[in-house]
Structure 1
Amino acid sequence: MVVIMHEEDVERGPLDGVRVVDLTTSLGAYTGRLLSDLGADVVRVDLDGDRLPRPGVFTEAGKARVTAGRAGLEDLLGTAQILLTSEGPAALRARDLHPEDVVRRHLGLVHVSVSPYGLTGPYADRPASDLTLLAAGGLLALAGDPDREPVRPWGEQSTVIAGAHAAVAALLALLTLEATGRGQVVDLSAQEAVAHSLENAVQCLDLEGVLRNRAGSGPLEAGTGLFRCADGWIYLVGGLGGRPLAWSAITEWLLDNGITEAEALRDERWGERSWRRSPDAATEFRSMFERFAVHRTKDELYEDGQRRGISIAPVATPADLLANPQLTERGFFREVTVDGRDLVFPGPPYRFAGSRVGPRSTPDRSGTDEGITA
């Protein structure tokens, strides 16, 4: 059973009273969605004559949608605290929307400019796509098998990464606006946002002189990685950073369940990092563990492993997540209406005391700028 939170009793969010004008393409649309989740009044404006690609339904939840001419847009900007755009500087200047010009006309406005490569530099107006941004940001160098071509992650990840970074930057600029009354330009490069999201790849080069490359999907160390079970897959962490961590607990787990060959895991060689990171060790451990796991479900393995202090997690399908006891008990999933469609959305990854945050239904407003008031 899925427990869905409805919006009838939604309390004011932390950004209640903040107006955001959203002129983004798909590259920056997630920024407005995140600000709407926090309670901002986000107005998606379709400018007369524009033919920009329309972002997807997921990023448009909670946004009012209007069509406006140039004069109507300027009136809206006069009532807003934040403007969102996501094109290069030449395209923005051609539409009289370059941040330098906008904040000069509206001194109390924060212009968050999400663009592929930032507002300055030799690549500022270079065309870009999710694929090229992931490559330029370094993520593709880490994704895929080492002896094959890079693999692009699913789902336009550069737009998610850039949108999340831009939302945080917008909140910081909003604090300055509230303290000083002065707007500013936030220049967000999607390429730099991707590079900032590579976990410790940059630090490995900077601090250890190690250039990380594609490692593929196989295990780097015996006891850690994906393992088959009766109804799918689980992820087990038997070692990390060369340390055996839960090795003794895993060994006892296998022995308690009739895998007598696991006695060999007590041998001194399994305490050596070089052996555990060898292909032979990974193959030997997998044979033992999957012989045990194949007769058990991922939930059974998860519960039993957790009781033993072992780091283990089920690999969840979408259906698994919708039925997850913890998520349903916490009312994580929300039912919202977007473009006349009732949809179930995941809730926010954070909570605020005294206010509801998360995806909201599209406001019922007029289709022109006359439906938006100060």
Structure 2
Amino acid sequence: MMLNHLTIIDATDEMGVLAGHMFAQLGADVTRLVSAAGEVADPVWTRNVRTVALDDADLPALLQGADILLRNGPLSGVDPADHPHLIDVVLTPFAAIDRPSTDLTLMARSGLLHIGGDPDREPLRLPGQQAHALGAIQAVIGALTALHARKDKGQRVTVSAYQSAVLANYREPVMWDWAGKVGARTGNLLVRGKSGVNQVWKVADGWVTWALVDNPGMMRAMVALMRADDMAGPLAEVDWDTILVADLPQETLKAWEGVVAAFLATKSRTFLAEQSNRTGMGLSAIDQPDDVLSSPHHAARGAFEDFADPVSGRTIRVPGPLFQTSREGVR
């Protein structure tokens, strides 16, 4: 295991639990401290860690033997600075201010909530606790970076879940910094130049991604496939080497997309993905959850494993090891 030489003390709440889980998945010995009120985190993310009641824990002894401490705030009765070897990781909602937050409010403030969904409807939230997860991932990166530089002296790493979410929103902050513009939700449209083109398409047994873009090779490959079924219509006459799709009127693109939609609706995801891999037409099949869980490719790599969920009482499939190599016993 990559990190089986490390000892981690995880004193975070649900904003940070993924950090402890990631360390455990990489082989570290993780002890999670739980308050008297009980565990609040999803049991999926605490399944490979040791749990100790905070009131019963000998914190000075735990920290003395630890490499990394993960926390959201002060720990009663101890000062991490008294343990100079320790990598002290503090994950909070905001960097320098103390204010209430939830994953939803952090997502909204970061701008990630603003860009999801259709333009004529309310914002569409990503599933799960995304801002908390992004903060936890940055906490792991910060901890390992500090550990690499530690030698005989520990460091404090401070991470803001809000800033982590902002950094994940690569487009809107850059647009504001450089153009002074606030972006708008575009839904299923990929906006380039004057117009927008569809990105997700309904096919006979599900959905695929593809778009009318300025890539002559992709366009010719799609049209050739459509012509084989005599369904290319006006697209058969287009010179893709001389036309600029991004400058076409929206009405023209909509008419062309109607032709493409009629063709795609007659084909399966598997057929289209195979043709795309063979001809380079830039199409990808969109997996359904069952496709992901039953994939032979994922099964061969142990991407998912069974977990007896104590909440529902069911056995569910959950993500397996973060990394796995072909070397025996190494994950």
TM range (shorter): 0.7 to 0.9
Unaligned stretches of 5+ in structure 2?
Answer: none
Is the 1:114–1:162 contact (alpha carbons within 8 Å) kept by the matching residues of 2?
A: yes
2:238 match = 266
Q: Distance in 2 between matches of 1:356 and 1:237?
A: 41
1:106 match = 83
- The answer to whether residue 43 in structure 2 is matched with residue 66 in structure 1 is no
The structure with higher relative contact order (CA 8 Å, sep 6+) is: 1
Amino acid at match of 1:142: I
Map 1:173-192; keep pairs closer than 5 Å.
173-177=146-150, 180-192=151-163
**Structure 2 residue aligned with 1:247, among 219, 228, 234?**
219
**Number of aligned residues:** 325
Is the 2:212–2:245 contact (alpha carbons within 8 Å) kept by the matching residues of 1?
A: no
Map 1:168-317; keep pairs closer than 5 Å.
168-177=141-150, 180-207=151-178, 210-220=181-191, 224-239=198-213, 246-264=218-236, 266=238, 271-276=243-248, 278-317=249-288
Is the 1:145–1:214 contact (alpha carbons within 8 Å) kept by the matching residues of 2?
A: yes
1:286-330 superposed Cα distances (whole Å, 9 cap, x missing partner): 321222122221111111121111221111111011222322333
**Structure 2 residue aligned with 1:154, among 116, 121, 127?**
127
1:319 match = 290
Q: Distance in 2 between matches of 1:173 and 1:288?
A: 56
Give the superposition deviation at 1:189: 0.2
* 2:125 counterpart SS class: coil
* 1:311 counterpart SS class: coil
1:40-78 superposed Cα distances (whole Å, 9 cap, x missing partner): 00111124xx43651002211211112243661221111
**TM-score (normalised: structure 2):** 0.87
* 2:199 counterpart SS class: strand
Unaligned stretches of 5+ in structure 1?
Answer: 1-12, 358-374
- The answer to whether residue 121 in structure 2 is matched with residue 138 in structure 1 is no
The change in CA–CA distance for 1:259 and 1:349 in structure 2 (over 3 A counts) is: farther
> Percent identity of the aligned residues?
26
The change in CA–CA distance for 1:352 and 1:205 in structure 2 (over 3 A counts) is: farther
* 1:140 counterpart SS class: coil
- The answer to whether residue 303 in structure 2 is matched with residue 332 in structure 1 is yes
Amino acid at match of 1:288: V
* 1:77 counterpart SS class: helix
The change in CA–CA distance for 1:133 and 1:40 in structure 2 (over 3 A counts) is: same
1:69-118 superposed Cα distances (whole Å, 9 cap, x missing partner): 3661221111111111124xxxx37x356xxx32x221111111111002
Amino acid at match of 1:314: A
Is the 1:275–1:281 contact (alpha carbons within 8 Å) kept by the matching residues of 2?
A: no
